[in-house]
Amino acid sequence: MASISVANFILQYLRPALPNATDFPDATLGYWIDAALLDISRGFPRKTYASWTGAAGTNSYSYADSLTSADENTIIRVLNCLYPWVDFEDPGVELTRKYHLDDDFIGGNYYEADNDYQILYVGPAIVAGKIIYSECHIVWKVATANIINPSEHYELIRLFTIWHAFLHQLSDAGSSTVPDSSLVNSLALQVRRAEIAYRAAYSLLDEAKATSGTASGWTLDKWDKGKG
């Protein structure tokens, strides 16, 4: 799994196109890098797992209560649910997804993940201390010091940041007391070209065959459109 410091990413990938550190200081570029990671997460999220310690008589669990999720407050979606989970050799029963207000939900081997409100509903009679386990998609962590995304994402991050730098310039030029129409038109063209470049690179990566790898207890996959 690739990893690069934010400072090195800026130096290697952004400064050649955005050399003016006065107009584009590292802190500003770092903010746009974070925005890029969040945008990339919608199409290419991280895949990890989350688990909850069951409480007797409790059939709903907040995602924020996850004990072993890499970043539990940024779960995008729960992909499955197993109960009672012990380990990979004894994964328990894989529950079937079903609407949690159906009459037969409680007491059955069902689950429902409300990704809007981040609540996991489970149907089985829960035994205190037994583990509820799920695979899930999570948001890529915002970059504090290092970008942990795979290197395949670097071009997307670079293009997204350049696009937003041009957007920033266009906004400044358009808000001038006496806007320079030729400058505004030139910047608008740059913005459009940068956006097209980003969208095209995004589409190419989306069309590529999914690849997976494991590191630190989690896997990376292209968006799993068939689940959740």
The predicted pLDDT at position 63 comes to 82
The predicted pLDDT at position 132 comes to 96
In 3-state terms, what secondary structure has residue 22?
Answer: coil
The residue whose two tokens read 């035994």 is 127
Calculate the alpha carbon distances from 37 to 2, 40, 153 in Å. 15, 5, 9
User: pLDDT tens digits, residue range 155-182?
Assistant: 999 999 999 999 998 988 887 777 788 8
Q: In what order do the strands lie in the sheet with 60-62?
A: 60-62, 119-122, 110-114, 96-97
Residue ranges per structural domain of the chain: 4-44+142-217, 46-138
The predicted pLDDT at position 118 comes to 85
The predicted pLDDT at position 65 comes to 53
Q: What residue ranges of the chain have pLDDT lower than 70?
A: 1-2, 64-73, 142-143, 209-228
The predicted pLDDT at position 75 comes to 82
The predicted pLDDT at position 158 comes to 97
Give the Cα separation of 196 and 163 in Å (integer).
Answer: 9
The predicted pLDDT at position 73 comes to 57
The predicted pLDDT at position 218 comes to 40
Phi and psi for 142 in degrees, rounded to 5? Answer: -65, 150
* Interaxial angle between packed helices 154-174 and 26-43, expressed in degrees from 0 to 180 and rounded to the nearest 10: 120
The predicted pLDDT at position 211 comes to 47
